[in-house]
């Protein structure tokens, strides 16, 4: 979006400029943070200005929803390199009893469990692809923060409902939305 358009937008103050490494481009908007189970079921989600750090957003999500982590001690949280940091990992372990599994940075030794991350990365990308592709998350059309939040919530809820329904009806692939894609 152009600078004058951004200044006039009702999202000004909430949204911001960020960089998407997977698309190698800058964008203006909000970044979606999603915590899912291994089956892709959304557990926590948040929208944040892309200028905010990933660790700070996740820490805030866990603070707001502290009961979710407290009800499930010993959680293994799989992330990307953006969540690297000794103090952050200690905070997750000390305050929430969460173990962080992430790829090693170039300046550190290979981390425990790192070889299994490639298969998990495919799961993460498939959840993202479902939200962006079948549920059209990137073209939600909202013009206000409330509108964006509602439309993102609709898509996350639709994904959760489809996974729950597929699981309850014994479908082979719980994350598939093909049967509902009309």
Q: Is residue 31 within 8 Å of 47, Cβ to Cβ?
A: yes
Q: Percentage of the chain with pLDDT > 70?
A: 92
Say what the pLDDT of residue 55 is: 93
| Mean per-residue pLDDT, 55-76 | 88
pLDDT of residue 6: 61
Q: Residue 87 pLDDT more than 90?
A: yes
Most confident segment among 1-10, 95-104, 140-149, 166-175: 95-104
Instruction: Compute the average pLDDT of residues 52-59.
Output: 93
**Residue 163 predicted with pLDDT over 70:** yes
Q: Contacts from 137-146 at CB under 8 Å and sequence distance 24+?
A: 137/32, 143/9, 143/10, 143/11, 144/10, 144/11, 145/10, 145/11, 145/14, 145/15
Predicted confidence band of residue 57 (pLDDT cuts 50, 70, 90) = very high
pLDDT-based confidence at residue 59 (cuts at 50, 70, 90): very high
Q: Set out the domains of the chain in order of their start, with CATH numbers.
A: 3-180 (3.30.420.10)
Whole-angstrom Cα distance, residue 109 to residue 180? 45
Question: Per-residue pLDDT averaged across 49-77, rounded?
Answer: 89
What is residue 20's three-state secondary structure?
strand
Q: What is the mean pLDDT of residues 89-97?
A: 90
Helix (H, G, I), strand (E, B), or coil: what is residue 8?
helix
Average pLDDT of span 150-176: 86
């Amino acid at each position: 979006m152009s600078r004058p358009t951004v200044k006039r937008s009702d999202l000004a103050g909430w949204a911001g400029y960020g960089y998407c490494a997977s698309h190698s481009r800058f964008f203006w908007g909000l970044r979606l943070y999603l915590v899912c189970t291994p089956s892709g079921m959304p557990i926590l989600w948040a929208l944040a200005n892309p200028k905010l750090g990933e660790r700070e957003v996740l820490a805030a999500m866990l603070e707001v929803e502290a009961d979710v982590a407290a009800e499930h001690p010993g959680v293994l949280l799989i992330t990307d390199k953006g969540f690297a940091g000794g103090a952050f990992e200690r905070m997750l372990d000390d305050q929430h009893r969460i173990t962080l599994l992430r790829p090693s940075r170039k300046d550190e030794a290979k981390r425990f469990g790192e070889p299994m991350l490639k298969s998990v990365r495919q799961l993460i990308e498939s959840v993202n692809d479902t939200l962006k592709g079948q549920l059209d998350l990137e073209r939600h059309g909202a013009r206000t923060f409330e509108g964006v939040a509602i439309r993102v919530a609709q898509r996350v809820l639709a994904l959760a409902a489809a996974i729950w329904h597929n699981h309850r009806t014994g479908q082979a692939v719980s994350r598939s939305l093909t049967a509902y894609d009309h």
